[in-house]
Amino acid sequence: MYPFEYLKPADLQSAVKSASASGENKFIAGGMTLLPTLKLRLARPDRLIDLSRITELTGIRVEANRVEIGAMTRHADVARSAELRRALPALAALAGGIGDPLVRNRGTIGGSIANNDPAADYPSALLALAGIVITNQREIAADDFFTGMFSTALKSSEVITQLRFDIPKRAAYAKYPNPASRYAMVGVFVADTATGIRVAVTGAGPCVFRVALFEAALAKRFTPDALEGLSIPADNLNNDLHGSAEYRASLVSVMAKRAVAAALGG
């Protein structure tokens, strides 16, 4: 990797101040995506700002019909939270299926959302649940947050402080993982929210996306059978050594049916 200045501030204010310095600054949470990128010399920041000491960015809070999760909360903590497993079990289950124990004990929910890896799990949950990304400057709706491959609406000086979710009527996530990396070749999160059915897909394309066709069908009848015969076009889906675009399009339908069945308790 290229040389860089390493900073480890103790509070959010100091981290934001460090990011205002000239040159390219990168925040690092768990480092599960950023560190491999640096090792491969695909990124060359002048300054790396480590957020791991900032305790104010951790924790899970469940109040009434709302869940708030600090951006630096580890995947493992999301997975084993008793409160979350009662209030939003689909999200806890998703976290428990991320990577391996090392990844789950180092990676953070905020880091995953900020990096927006095309095959990451959390983006599908945030989008399907109509979540809110809260930064040190503003609140960003999930529908406006993800803008493309590894790209989000975050500004260079913004830090995600927490994620907020309204508890849905029912929800579930199903994914077909790459057998080596455990990243989603295709993952589908289905949620029956106060504003309607939302279906979000990760792993299949360059960026997480919703499937309006599936949402309309499930709004009429929330059963796996409602998706029978429905599919999405393979155009613009990922096509690589792990699977063709056509294969991923087929997996989207299969995983969507499994997610609906799981949301119904099947």
pLDDT tens-digit series, residues 32-59 = 888 988 999 988 999 999 999 999 999 9
Give the angle 230-202-178 at the CA atoms, nearest 5°. 105
Confidence tier at 104 by pLDDT (50, 70, 90)? very high
The span from the CA of 252 to the CA of 238, in Å, is: 12
- Per-residue pLDDT reduced to its tens digit, 249-261: 999 999 999 999 9
Residue 173 has what pLDDT? 98
For residues 1 and 17, the model is more confident at 17
In which band, very low, low, confident or very high, does the pLDDT at 116 lie, cut at 50, 70 and 90?
very high
- The verdict on domain 58-263 having CATH code 3.40.50.460 is no
The C-alpha atoms of residue 125 and residue 202 are separated, in whole angstroms, by: 9
For 148: left if phi > 0, alpha if psi spans -120 to 50, otherwise beta; the answer is left
| Residue range 1-49, CATH number | 3.30.43
Residue 110 pLDDT class (50, 70, 90 cuts): very high
Q: What is the mean pLDDT of residues 76-96?
A: 98
Confidence of residue 181 (pLDDT cuts 50, 70, 90): confident
pLDDT band for 231, please (50, 70, 90 cuts): very high
- φ, ψ (nearest 5 deg) of residue 65: -105, 25
pLDDT of residue 239: 96
Query: Using the 8-state DSSP alphabet, how is residue 167 labeled?
Result: P
Q: What percent of the chain has pLDDT over 70?
A: 100
Percentage of the chain modeled with pLDDT above 90:
91
Instruction: Name the residue ranges covered by the structural domains of the chain.
Output: 1-49, 58-263
- The pLDDT of residue 266 is above 80: no
Which of 109, 4, 83, 85 has its CA nearest to residue 49? 4
21 pLDDT band (50/70/90 cuts)?
Answer: confident
More confidently predicted of 69 and 179:
69
CB 60 within 8 A of CB 160: no
Give one word for 25, left, alpha or beta, with left for phi > 0 and alpha for psi -120 to 50.
beta
Work out the mean pLDDT of the chain and round it to a whole number.
Answer: 95
Nearest to 231 by CA among 254, 198, 205: 254
What confidence score (pLDDT) does residue 30 get?
92
